A and B are shown apart, each in its own frame.
Chain A
Amino acid sequence: MGITVSIPTAFRRHTEGLDRYDCPATNLKELLDAMETRFPELKPHLRDEDGKVRRFLNIYVNDEDIRFLGANYKFSEGDEVTLVPSIAGG
């Protein structure tokens, strides 16, 4: 069981330069817990003091915004998770 997280350039100074992170998490909470443990400097950028995902952080599973999948969405083997620090466009 494992998923792969694509880490954007802006986050890499907190991830020892890693651009991909393989993780056995089965849901979003486990993923964020694992990333915060593995990359402590990233922690304040992922969730706020109340444990909510930061307002400007966008998380996608494969091509879908995780907010459409639900907070309890169970990852499948091989899921690709993409982090976008602040969505632009418009």
Chain B
Amino acid sequence: MSTQVRYELRCRECRTTWGNQPVSFCQKCFAPLEVAYDLATIRQEISKDEIARRAANLWRYKELLPLPDRFESSLPVGFTPLVKATTLGEVFTGKSLHSKSIYIKNDAVCFPSLSFKDRVVAVALAQARNFGFEIVSCSSTGNLANAVAAQAARAGFKACVFIPSDLEPAKVLGTQVYGAKIIRIAGNYDHVNRLCSQIADKHPWGFVNVNLRPYYAEGSKTVGYEIAEQLGWRLPDNVVVPMAGGSLITKIHKAFKELAELGLVESKNVKFFGAQATGCSPISTAVKAGRSDIEPQKPNTIARSLAIGNPADGFYAAKTIVASGGWAEDSSDPEIVEGITLLAETEGIFTETAGGVTVGAARKLYAQGRIKPEETTVLCITGNGLKTTDALAGRFETAEPIPPKLAAFEEHIGRELVNVPAGGD
């Protein structure tokens, strides 16, 4: 790495370096690329105090992101709340917890499009501009399309995104509203993804999760940086992370490792726990079978944002989990819905189906004793429940309206009061 370049692409297998260019795999051995940093130089320039002085968004970790020189963003992406989840923890363990032991990292409220995909897109578009792309694109299970469409609108890119034809209406609308072009593919996400690889091979478009993928994926590290900083610059004992392509879990691992190498946190063996839907569980199946080679599956789950049967980083996700001493679990469709409502009723957080997967898997991990009540555990909630309300269709009754009269209210409440749940702190 030259002294001017803080980061460059490096093959995850043969370690060949490729400078900086819009390409996702090694041109020598065809394995995936990732961004490697000159951490020795960065160590001289970064400090907790300096980070604390910066605005509360993911750009506060700019030295650890692959951003072009003099890049400035006005978009305050990231730095989502890390909230204690004591009531949820009590449900998981059946007893009172130490008050600091379970947390929700709430990317359901990430800016601007209400999922963690805002983080990766923010970094990818910085490089899309740098490489001169005018059209940005992606293959998406929904959230990514929302994030690309929203940020492309603000940054002045044309956006054209590819989605499977069966996505939730709110995720389709939440892309169209920004003026992005949507191409619906008659097939599942893996069909969409393969097509996008072929298009990216032929057309000079900036596909955030194809030819810009190594840069894009680095944005996920900010989830890990924020967790560490919000815990007071220390690492948790465990993290529970939903897995689709498997990238997020590997990047949180990378983030923790970098912070330890930079001396910003004490080094620690954090256990990584992956969560998948039972109807699309190629990574958790591999972990449970004690292997890291992934056998693809045909997805069949209500958690469409996680419905990737051939996960690009499945191999690395499984390896990360096993090496950390963690585990992987999966949630069935009813368990996903139960997870959504449980998180809403206990912590006041409305997550999408992927969050239901994470809550359902975490519940099992506590029950199995793989996660212990006294350990500090962070559940990563990556998306917002308002985007997947169809998963809850028919679950709640629509109340009959009552006349706007006090007497009618008194009569109604007398009848209904027994059904009003008690509030809690």
Contact = CB atoms under 8 A, between A and B. Distances in A.
A50 to B, nearest CB: 13
Interface string B21-40: 00011110111100000000
Contacts of B25: 10, 56, 85-86, 88
Nearest to A84: B197
Interface in B179-233: 187, 189-194, 196-198, 200-202, 207, 209-211, 213
Interface in A1-49: 6, 8-10, 45
A86 B30 CA distance: 6
Interface stretch (B47-55, B293-301, B391-399, B404-412): B293-301
A82 B311 contact: no
Interface stretch (B244-252, B320-328, B356-364, B372-380): B244-252
Nearest to A63: B191
Given A65-B310, A90-B245, A55 B191 contact: no
A60 B194 contact: yes
Interface in A41-85: 45, 54-58, 60, 63, 65, 67-68, 82, 84-85
Interface size range on B against A: 35 or more
B254 to A, nearest CB: 15
15 contacts: A8-B198, A10-B27, A54-B30, A56-B32, A84-B194, A85-B25, A86-B32, A88-B25, A88-B193, A88-B213, A89-B139, A89-B196, A89-B197, A90-B209, A90-B311
Interface of A: 6, 8-10, 45, 54-58, 60, 63, 65, 67-68, 82, 84-90
Given A10-B25, A89-B189, A90-B244, 5 more contacts: A63-B194, A87-B194, A89-B139, A89-B312, A90-B247
